[in-house]
């Protein structure tokens, strides 16, 4: 009987879930204005005008809390030689053939790619979002910048949603991961199997 290992503190978990909730709300309200197929989602926010009003504020909340979270996790996300070896065997990882994978730290290369994707996209979304923010800021920007910003905003949001689909799926796929963010701990076996270098660091074994 092994003891669970602490992976996230209560503060880190709360921070993550504020970002996650803001992401879901910003994502749904953004999709509503992205394509007519999703316009019905404006009903979740009290109609079209309310969706337009709320979306940017939700986005700002997501940005602020994401930045706080990114600052906490920054130092665990530098790429290492082990990450490159792991990435070379990504096909095996996907097929659940994990034997002989290199020992990796708190995050694997896939998680690190997601981290850096978010670090780039969220500020880009904020900047392009401010440019098209009606009625507060959009009137102060030239039309060419508005046109560029709508494209950047849509494209970046799309990349980010794709990234989050992968993130959520990975959490469902790799059993024992979700509790890291809900209860803060993972099993010793989980840590040993998926993040051995981190496991050694945490347990001294």
Partner 1 sequence: MALQSLDIKARSATTTQSPAARKTTEVAKLIDISKCIGCKACQAACMEWNDLRDDIGHNVGVYDNPHDLSDQSWTVMRFSEVEVEQGRLEWLIRKDGCMHCADPGCLKACPSPGAIVQYSNGIVDFHEENCIGCGYCITGCPFNIPRISKKDHKAYKCTLCSDRVGVGLEPACVKTCPTGAIVFGSKADMIHHAEGRITDLKERGYSNAALYDPKGVGGTHVMYVLQHGDKPELYANLPKDPGISPLVGLWKGVTKPLMNLGLGLAVFAGFFHYVTAGPKEVEEEEKTD
User: How many other CB atoms are there within 10 angstroms of residue 87's CB atom?
Assistant: 16
**Residue 52 engages partner 1 in binding (rule: CB under 8 A):** yes
Interaction of residue 96 with partner 1, rule CB under 8 A: yes
Give just the sign of the alpha carbon dihedral 14, 20, 122, 175.
Answer: positive
Of the candidates 35, 167, 193, 195, the residue annotated as catalytic is 167
167 is catalytic: yes
**For partner 1, the closer CB: 88 or 151:** 151
Q: Which of 55, 54, 53, 29 is nearest to 42 (CA)?
A: 29
Q: How many residues lie near partner 1 (CB under 8 A)?
A: 50
Q: CA–CA separation, 129 vs 98, rounded Å?
A: 41
2 binds partner 1 (CB under 8 A): yes
- Minimum separation from the CB atom of position 26 to partner 1 (A): 15
Residue 71 CB, nearest approach to partner 1 (Å):
28
Does residue number 28 form part of the binding site for partner 1 (CB under 8 A)? Answer: no
Asked whether position 150 contacts partner 1 by CB under 8 A, the answer is yes
Residue with tokens 């921070």: 15
Q: According to the binding rule CB under 8 A, does residue 44 interact with partner 1?
A: no
Q: Residue 20: which region, alpha, beta or left (left: phi > 0; alpha: psi -120 to 50)? A: alpha
- 159-178 residues near partner 1, rule: CB under 8 A: 161-162, 165-166, 169, 172-176
Q: Which is nearer to partner 1, 44 or 151 (CB)?
A: 151
The interface region with partner 1, picked from 15-23, 37-45, 66-74, 81-89 by CB under 8 A, is 37-45
Question: Cis omega before residue 135 (within 30°)?
Answer: yes
Helical (H) or strand (E) element with 192? helix 188-194
Cite the DSSP H helix spans in 3-142. 10-34, 48-73, 81-88, 90-94, 109-131
Q: How far is the CB of 4 from partner 1 (least distance, A)?
A: 8
Helices 48-73, 109-131: crossing angle, 10 deg rounding = 140
Instruction: Provide the binding-site residues for partner 1, judged by CB under 8 A.
Output: 1-2, 4, 32-37, 39, 42, 47-49, 51-52, 94-96, 98, 132, 134-135, 138-139, 143, 146-148, 150-151, 154, 158, 161-162, 165-166, 169, 172-176, 187-190, 192-194
Catalytic residues: 167
């Amino acid at each position: 009987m092994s003891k669970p290992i602490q992976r996230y503190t209560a503060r880190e978990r709360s921070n993550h879930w504020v970002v996650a909730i803001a992401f879901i709300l910003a994502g749904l309200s953004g999709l509503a204005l992205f394509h007519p197929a999703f316009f019905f989602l404006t009903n979740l926010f009290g109609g079209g005008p309310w969706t337009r009003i709320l979306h940017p504020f939700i986005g700002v909340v997501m940005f602020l809390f994401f930045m706080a979270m990114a600052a906490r996790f920054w130092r665990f996300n530098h790429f290492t030689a082990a990450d490159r070896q792991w990435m070379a065997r990504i096909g095996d990882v996907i097929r659940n053939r994990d034997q002989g994978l290199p020992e990796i730290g708190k995050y694997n290369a896939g998680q690190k790619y997601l981290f850096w994707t978010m670090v780039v996209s969220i500020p880009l979304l904020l900047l392009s979002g401010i440019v098209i923010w009606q009625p507060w800021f959009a009137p102060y920007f030239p039309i060419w910048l508005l046109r560029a910003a709508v494209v950047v905003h849509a494209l970046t949001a799309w990349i980010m949603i794709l990234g989050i689909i992968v993130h959520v799926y990975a959490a469902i796929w790799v059993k024992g991961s979700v509790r890291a963010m809900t209860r803060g701990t993972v099993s010793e076996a989980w840590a040993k199997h998926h993040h051995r270098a981190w496991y050694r660091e945490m347990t001294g074994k």
